């Protein structure tokens, strides 16, 4: 097996993912050693107590990804590196941008340099769905981090090393996430579960699924890949009712750096289109067309108005993403698409008008 008799290092290893990864690998494989690299001595102490039975194969290093020399020392003799260390709390990153940049961007570059110097074989970096069309600093720093890891493959030269990315959404039950928050409120006798925005949705993945995706990346990566699993989404209000049926759900407003709707890119393939339209019809999420860069004219003149009609209201559109080449802009202007994009809202009547215009345009072409 790939992980048998290998030395694996996990940055940020005392977090939810690191613990689950260590447990999974120790139960299913026979690694030579797993190194937990993190900066919190107390969390390492707690983890040592939880993993007593595996003490002969676990090592704990105090260190920060900001410290390149410490990383170089820790990476000596390591075969695989899982980079999970990051500042992840969106509001914290908004209020402390310098710290987020030092850890999420400079730390990523330090991991890359240390891995190259220590002849590590594979590096898998954890990413987030917030790195796609980022609207907050956390997502922006992770986007830069992803770019650094992908580009690192070009610097490997003759070294037998590759870098890849694993990207997924919110991890169910992870520290600081919404499920533990709701659970604590319920445990303390609360009858209300606060909702930031009634339209808010979350992409859902379990810790075990996240670990299995990382192991898949370790097995299959050849360098430069971004592994993304197809995972379901749910409305936060549905989660609240499932955890505390009949509870009140006061809307408290979104946190700094959070957008009020879920960004869903319209896919050009039929299965993706069916999935998107089904979600709209079922009302499973509040949809936003947030990435139309490079979308073809069929996406924008047919799929977009259909989504608007089925959504039952209006569709949020990100005007800053509407970077289209001149021929497409000309065609869209003729069909009256650009005004809705510029306003940032796409309403039902505009969808109907667009479909009518599209039909007239096609009829003119074929007559």
Between the CA of residue 366 and those of 96, 122, 359, 360, 363, what are the distances in Å? 58, 55, 11, 10, 5
- Catalytic residue, chosen from 6, 88, 122, 130, is 130
Sheet holding 170-171: strands in order across? 170-171, 201-205, 233-235
Q: Which two tokens stand for residue 42?
A: 């107390």
Residue 241: Cβ within 10 Å count: 14
Q: Which two tokens stand for residue 165?
A: 């990315």
Sheet holding 33-38: strands in order across? 58-62, 33-38, 7-11, 80-83, 122-128, 162-168, 226-228
Active site residue 122: no
Decide if 14 contacts 38 (C-beta within 8 A).
Answer: yes
Nearest-10 crossing angle of helices 348-366, 326-335: 110
Pairing mode of beta strands 345-347, 314-317:
antiparallel
Residue 52: Cβ within 10 Å count: 8
Name residue 61's beta-bridge partners: 37
DSSP state of 321: G
Q: Which two tokens stand for residue 129?
A: 């769905």
Between the CA of residue 347 and those of 67, 160, 168, 328, 339, what are the distances in Å? 51, 53, 31, 21, 11
Tokens 């299913």 locate to 28
For the annotated catalytic residues, the residue numbers are 130
């Amino acid at each position: 097996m790939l992980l048998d008799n290998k030395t694996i290092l996990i940055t940020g290893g005392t977090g939810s993912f690191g613990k689950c990864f260590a447990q999974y690998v120790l139960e299913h494989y026979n690694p030579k050693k797993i190194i937990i690299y993190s900066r919190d001595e107390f969390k390492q102490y707690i983890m040592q107590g939880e993993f007593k039975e595996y003490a002969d194969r676990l090592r704990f290093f105090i260190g920060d990804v900001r410290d390149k020399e410490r990383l170089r020392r820790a990476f000596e003799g390591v075969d695989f590196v899982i980079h999970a260390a990051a500042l992840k709390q969106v509001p914290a990153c908004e209020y402390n941008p310098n710290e987020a940049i030092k850890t999420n961007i400079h730390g990523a570059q330090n991991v890359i340099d240390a891995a190259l110097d220590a002849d590590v074989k594979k590096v898998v970096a954890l990413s987030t769905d917030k790195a796609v069309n980022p609207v907050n600093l956390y997502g922006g720093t992770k986007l830069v981090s992803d770019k650094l890891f992908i580009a690192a493959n070009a610097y490997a030269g003759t070294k037998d090393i590759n870098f890849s990315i694993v990207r997924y959404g919110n991890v169910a039950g992870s520290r600081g996430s919404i499920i533990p928050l709701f659970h604590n409120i319920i445990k303390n006798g609360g009858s209300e579960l606060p909702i930031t925005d009634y339209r808010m949705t979350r992409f859902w993945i379990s810790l075990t699924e996240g670990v299995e995706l990382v192991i898949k990346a370790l097995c299959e990566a050849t360098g430069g890949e971004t592994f993304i699993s197809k995972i379901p989404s749910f409305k936060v209000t549905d989660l609240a009712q499932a955890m505390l049926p009949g509870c009140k759900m006061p809307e408290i407003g979104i946190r700094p750096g959070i957008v009020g709707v879920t960004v869903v890119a319209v896919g050009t393939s039929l299965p993706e289109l069916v999935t998107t339209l089904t979600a709209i019809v079922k009302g499973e999420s509040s949809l936003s067309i947030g990435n139309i860069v490079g979308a073809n004219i069929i996406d924008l003149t047919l799929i977009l108005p259909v989504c608007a009609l089925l959504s039952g209201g209006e569709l949020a559109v990100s005007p800053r993403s509407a970077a289209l080449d001149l021929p497409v802009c000309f065609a869209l202007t003729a069909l009256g698409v650009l005004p809705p994009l510029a306003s940032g809202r796409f309403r039902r009547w505009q969808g109907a008008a667009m479909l009518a215009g599209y039909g007239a345009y096609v009829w003119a072409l074929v007559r």
